[in-house]
Structure formats: C-alpha cells, structure tokens
Amino acid sequence: MLQLHYHPSDASLMPHIFLEELGVPFQLCLVDRAHNAQKSPEYLRLNPNGLIPVLQDGALVLYETPAILMHLADTHPQVHLLPALGTPERAQAYKWLTWLSNTLQATLVQYFYAERYVPAEGVADFRARTEARLAPMLDQLEAQLHSSGGPWLLGAHYSAADCMAFVLCCWTRNLQRPANSLPALGAYITHMRQRPAVQRAAATEQLQEAFFTRAA
C-alpha cells in the first residue's frame, strides 16, 4: 500500500490531499517533529535532506513534493489530475508545479525559518524583506486565476497544481497581505475548502480554522 510520511499542516498536506483525491487506499506515517524524527537515521535513509514528505510506493522511495504529485498522477491516469502527456497544458502544469516548489514554497520556508538564514539581530529585517518578495508571487497567482478563467489554477481542469497552490496560500495566512485578502485567491481558497478530499485531509490532520485564516 502507498505510504505517506507526513506531519500535520506541513508540505505533506499537498500529497495527502492528492491521495484523498485519488480515492485509493494509503497509509499515513506520522513523522514526530517534536522529537526531530525527520533527522533520525531511519528517516534520513528515506530522505537524506531530513524533510517531510516522503512517499513509499512498493520499493520506490520518493521525496520532493512535486515529484510525488507527478508520480501519483502518472500511476493513476484514470483520475486525470494532470493534463494529457505532451500537451501544452501538461507543460504549463509542470511549470506551475516547479514554480510553486522552487519559488513560492522556497521563499515561504525562508520566511518561516528566518533564524536559519541570518543572525538573531537580522531576523526581523530579513523576514520583512522576504515578505516583500512574497507579495508579487501572490500577485502572480492572482493574475493566473484571472487569465486562466478559474476556478482552478490551470483553468477549468482541477490538477495537482491546485493541491500545492492551496496549501501554500494557507501558509500565507499571517502575512500582512495574505492570499485570502486578494479577490481571486480568496475565492479560490474557499472553493478548495469545499472539496471533499480537502475536508477529509484537514479532518485527519486535525487542522483548525486558524490554519486557513489569519489568527485573530
């Protein structure tokens, strides 16, 4: 059976939602971050980066969220969670999955873990600069929803890119200008939350309302 190594609300939520969309049996294996289990020798054998998620599919051990999503889409083609191979639409999906991972997600990680990048006295400034870098990225997503015509990132076709975009948008909830303060992105988040797969994953991970919206 497919196994997903996860921690609630982390990047693993993206493949978790995707697995729920597939409607296939899978097993969740909690990585105990409170005890730094992602850096344990056993876990490092699965992912030498010590990062969550990891997917195990039989003998295949896979890390990197977009790779996991693309693999699951490829092995479950009947669910059509990526456009047809070789089409311009598929290429656009690759572009968004890559951009979400190496640009938006990577920058959000810098924001959340600022203390890993600069000395303590520079953290507030670094975080403010990182937040300023995030603003045009959210504008880019907002513009994409307008130009694709929505309701999903690629337009009429719900895809793996939505699992990523949605979770990353939720991660922005406490920025001064979070994703849900932008009109198309706000509607998009609401729409995503109505998907049964999102609701099942959120219930399993016991995500509270504060995951989706700014803390009061």
Q: Which is nearer to ligand GSH, 109 or 207 (CB)?
A: 109
Cβ proximity to ligand GSH, 164 vs 182, nearer residue: 164
Among residues 10, 20, 21, 205, the one that binds ligand GSH under rule CB under 6 A: 10
Query: Please, what sign has the CA dihedral across residues 189, 191, 193, 199?
Result: negative
Residue 146 CB partners (closer than 8 Å, separation 6+): 184
Angle at alpha carbon of residue 189, lines to 179 and 130, rounded to 5°: 25
Nearest residue to ligand GSH, by Cβ distance, number only: 65
- Taking CB under 6 A as the rule, does residue 168 contact ligand GSH? no
CB of 81 to ligand GSH, least distance (A): 17
> DSSP E strands: which ranges in the chain?
2-6, 26-30, 54-57, 60-63
Reduced to 3 states (helix: H, G, I; strand: E, B; else coil), residue 3 is strand
- Tell me the window of 48-56, 72-80, 180-188, 203-211 that interacts with ligand GSH (CB under 6 A): 48-56
Instruction: Report the C-alpha gap between 112 and 131 in whole angstroms.
Output: 10
CB of 146 to ligand GSH, least distance (A): 27
The single residue among 2, 19, 22, 52 that binds ligand GSH, judged by CB under 6 A, is: 52
Interacting residue ranges for ligand GSH, rule: CB under 6 A = 10-11, 38, 50-53, 63-65, 101, 109
